[in-house]
Amino acid sequence: MHRVELCAEAIRLARLLHRLLPADAEVAGLLALMLLTDARRPAREGAGGWLVPLDEQDRTLWDAALIAEGTALLDAAARRGAAGEYRLQAAIAAVHDRAAKAEDTDWPQIVARYGVLGRLTGLGTNH
């Protein structure tokens, strides 16, 4: 289910890009999104290789260091103007990752961020 080496290489390249373009908030957002998503990998697969839904994952298996790094990148990028697609997607992932339990998830915040993402991308609008 997971191509660990591919994910690791993508994160390595995003880290390199972030080092080359440290002021680019979308590059920071992309790296944050990758880290916040990869942090949940240890809990994403259950017995038999089946996908474990986010609300059923054992959050104690999530990688706290990757979550801390991703949220720090996202918080720093938030001070650099309006969010783009990657920052918004990372912000949504961060809401999930910051919730200690699934029932602690701030759904209104997620819905609001998806609304902004939809307006930014044109998805979810009637054309």
Render pLDDT for 35-85 as a digit per residue (tens, 0 to 9): 999 999 999 998 888 999 999 999 999 999 999 999 999 999 988 878 899
The DSSP annotation for 62-109 comes to S-HHHHHHHHHHHHHHTTSSS--HHHHHHHHHHHHHH-SSGGG--HHH
| Domain total in the chain | 1
In a domain, residue 126? The reply is no
Threshold 0.85, pTM exceeds: yes
Which SS3 state, helix, strand or coil, does residue 62 take?
coil
The residue type found at 23 is A
Judge whether 70 lies within some domain: yes
In which domain, by residue range, is 91 found? 4-121
Is 98 inside a domain boundary?
A: yes
Instruction: Give the max Cα distance, the chain.
Output: 44
Dump pLDDT digits (tens) for 14-42: 999 999 999 999 999 999 999 999 999 99
